[in-house]
Amino acid sequence: MLKFTLAVLSLLPVLPAFGAAQDSAAMQALRARPVRIIVATAPGGGVDITARHLAKTMGELARIALVVQNRPGAGSITGTEYAARATPDGHTLLVSSSSSMVMNGLLHQQLPYDALRDFVAVGFVVAYPFVLIARNDLPVTNLAELAQYAKDRRGKLTYGSAGVGSLQHVWGTLLFRSMGLDLLHVPYKGAAMAVQEMIGGRIDLMFDNLSAARAQVQAGRVKALVVSPARRAPQMPAVPTVNESGVTQFEGESWMGVFVPSATPRGTVQALRGVVENVLQDAGLRERLEAGGGRIMRVPPQQQQAFVNRERERWGALIKRYGVTAE
């Protein structure tokens, strides 16, 4: 059953920060009826949480009524297709991730949507680092020790993921194959289940979103070996980056953004971009996202499409090089 959450609609006066955009015809049209935010994953995950933070703040600042609508299925393909086919009038937004907007198109031969053709970005919101976690009794403390330990036990170590084609699967495979390691991938129905299996000692490793894994690391249930960005994560300053290990090179962050169907009128797209930009300046929203391990993104409108294109080219080359598949 689809789950809906109606964002709080503030009765506060319009904030001056929105300027002329608040009085535009496009803004008035957006306020005429509720705007749906489609989330192509189940409630409770990172994309869903980000969407609900956005809905609350957008409702308060821009006086737009928003409804978050979860449409999970087929590794986020079901909900993303639904958003692509929606009426392009600005009343259906998609809050999505690099997994849906980049990885799916690289891993699946046939998709019912084309992210580059069917969507236009109206704002990139937050990026999260990944962290390589290991079960506590695995006798390694860094990436170099893991490399040697795994090579001595070729094909015997395991790594978990939220499912075939998930970012945990793809990035984990890229990382380990770039190190020349042969590990067994064990997919689960969600990242939380995989982490619990690790805590129980049934899998060895997992390359997971820091926002999800940090609590388990801090509680001492698992240990962190490396993080994925170019710089260390402020939330785990003692954990080195992959590149610092000297074993292999890997840089990546899982990002989330807001998209609309590509046929959405230009004026509506510009109005929504103004809303997202102002929302990202809200101290409360920034605090909530950063507390979860996120980094607020700054991608100017004129660079947004190029950003997606670069992401697709970069990860596409690595996926091809290391033979990662989801089918």
The mean pLDDT value for 234-246 works out to 95
Residue 205: which H helix or E strand, with range? strand 205-209
CATH number, domain 129-245 = 3.40.190.10
Residue 128's region, left for phi above 0, alpha for psi from -120 to 50, else beta, is: beta
pLDDT digits (tens, 9 = 90+) for 88-120: 999 999 999 999 999 999 999 889 999 999 999
Indicate the pLDDT class of residue 242, thresholds 50, 70 and 90: very high
Whether the per-residue pLDDT at 145 is higher than 60: the answer is yes
- Common-topology check for domains 4-127+253-322 and 129-245: yes
Beta strands 205-209; 158-161: pairing state: parallel
Choices 1.10.3470.10, 3.40.190.80, 2.40.400.10, 3.40.190.150: CATH for 4-127+253-322? 3.40.190.150
pLDDT digits (tens, 9 = 90+) for 199-224: 999 999 999 989 888 889 999 999 99
Q: What is the pTM for the complete model shown?
A: 0.84
- DSSP state letter for 34: P
Whether the per-residue pLDDT at 227 is higher than 60: the answer is yes
Specify the amino acid at residue 40.
Answer: A
Q: Which residue has better confidence, 46 or 244?
A: 244
Indicate the domain borders of the chain.
4-127+253-322, 129-245
d(CA 247, CA 224): 16
The percent of the chain in helix, strand and coil, each rounded to the nearest 5, is: 45, 20, 35
pLDDT at residue 184, as a whole number: 96
Indicate the pLDDT class of residue 8, thresholds 50, 70 and 90: very low
